[in-house]
Amino acid sequence: MSVLRSLLDRVEPHFSKGGRFSRFGALYEIVDTFLYTPGTVTPGAPHVRDAVDMKRSMFTVIIALLPALLFGIYNTGYQADPGAGLLQNMQTGFVAVLPLIAISYIVGGLWEVLFGIVRRHDVNEGFLVTGLLLPLTLPAGIPLWMVALGISFGVVIGKEVTGGTGYNIFNPALVARAFLFFAYPSEMSGDAVWSMADELTRATPLAVASSVSGADGVYLLKEAGYTLQQLVIGRFPGSIGETSKVAVLLGAIVLLVTRIGSWRIMTGGLLGMTAASLIANAMAPSFDNPSLYLTPVHHLLMGSFAFGLVFMATDPVSAAQTDRGRWIYGILIGSLIVMIRVLNQAFPEGVMLSILLANAFSPMIDYFVLRQNIARRQKAYARQ
């Protein structure tokens, strides 16, 4: 390894400022920091105050996403042919899912390198997560050109035009998904997009729970065969990485143990969702909306609530930065998800819009938390 280090050190001056290949310094930085931990500190936000730097943090998030990815691959094959067996399902899933991930990384990576070369800055590590998050939030049968278009929109509009990692207001992966959802709704929603076999088309739990006006959403789920056990395991139609709550829980444990994911945001999201669900349950007898009957457990296990709360809401750039702000931010996301799911029957998911709305409010949340803290200290100082 010392030979490789010596080689990198010898060519570094050519890629540094004033060198013959200085414009391509971003490419050198990719190789160097992938192989070795850099001895420098970040010049701008986000800062990680730990022995683990940003690149290692992003790799940890990738590791946390692996259970959801592997189960998503299996579930994609299972939805195509439930009776084919584990190995055949994994093989079918690999063939369907890996091209989506490859396109996401290749196209998004090209944009990252292009902006790095033009602006003469390092390629941002955050793309390692964005490039994987986007495919995991998509249907397995989505055309590859849409993935390329979506990741391009997410990286360019969602991040680079605002200054790159550390300056983006919104989560780039969610910006990409929102673009695809509103630009190509027929490819992103409806019963037909979640299975690669047309004859096995099946509605998602969220669609079932809101399908019959005047009925009980919990009863509709049981009637359709969606038990709590099945919702936990995740062998039902949905986005690639979002159906298995066991896999999401494993990822959450990794993020919490390594302190990369904020427990305040996750807990706040659960509290906000629970409070809003209980209020909805109290209103249920007075309205004919079936979603009002859904319990907090159902909201937790259905759709992308758990996945979004663990991997999207905890984005260290677009989330609130203060401890109290993280509680407010999480509670806001949890309550908004239930409100959108219950009040808008045409859009029964709500996670994507809730997190994007909370992203927009997070700077203001931090501002008021800091102002309140300053005012409290001023009062305490005045009493001395």
Q: Rounded to whole angstroms, how far apart are CA atoms 220 and 210? A: 8
Specify the pLDDT at position 212: 85
| Domain around 331 | 203-236+261-383
In a domain, 181, yes or no: no
197 compared with 370, residue with greater pLDDT? 370
> Among candidates 95, 84, 89, which has minimal Cα distance to 71?
89
Residue 192 lies in a domain: no
Read off the pLDDT of residues 116-130 as tens digits, 9 standing for 90 and up. Answer: 888 777 777 778 889
Residue 231: the pLDDT is 93
Q: Is pLDDT at 332 greater than 80 in this prediction? A: yes
- Give the Cβ contact number of residue 373 at 10 Å: 12
Residue 185: inside a domain: no
Mean pLDDT on 131-139: 93
In a domain, 232, yes or no: yes
| Helix spans in 225-304 (H) | 228-233, 245-257, 263-283, 296-301
- Summarised one tens digit per residue, pLDDT across range 47-98 is 555 556 677 778 889 999 999 999 999 999 999 888 888 999 999 999 999 9
Residue 204 has pLDDT above 90, yes or no: no
Residue 80 domain-assigned? no
What is the number of other CB atoms lying within 10 angstroms of the CB of residue 324? 16
292 has pLDDT over 80: yes
Q: Can you give the pLDDT at residue 207?
A: 86
Q: Is residue 84 part of a domain?
A: no
Predicted TM-score of the model (pTM): 0.84
Q: What pLDDT does residue 59 have?
A: 83
* Number of domains within the chain: 2
pLDDT at 42: 62
Report how far residue 135's alpha carbon sits from residue 241's, in angstroms, rounded to the nearest whole number: 8
Give the residue among 79, 128, 88 at the shortest CA–CA distance from 108.
128
Mean pLDDT over 179-205 rounds to: 80
In a domain, 324, yes or no: yes
Within-domain flag for 291 = yes
DSSP calls for 84-152: S-HHHHHHHHHHHHHHHHHHHHHHHHHHHHHHHHHHT-PPPTTHHHHHHHHHHTS-TT--HHHHHHHHH
- Stronger pLDDT, 324 or 192, i.e. the higher one: 324
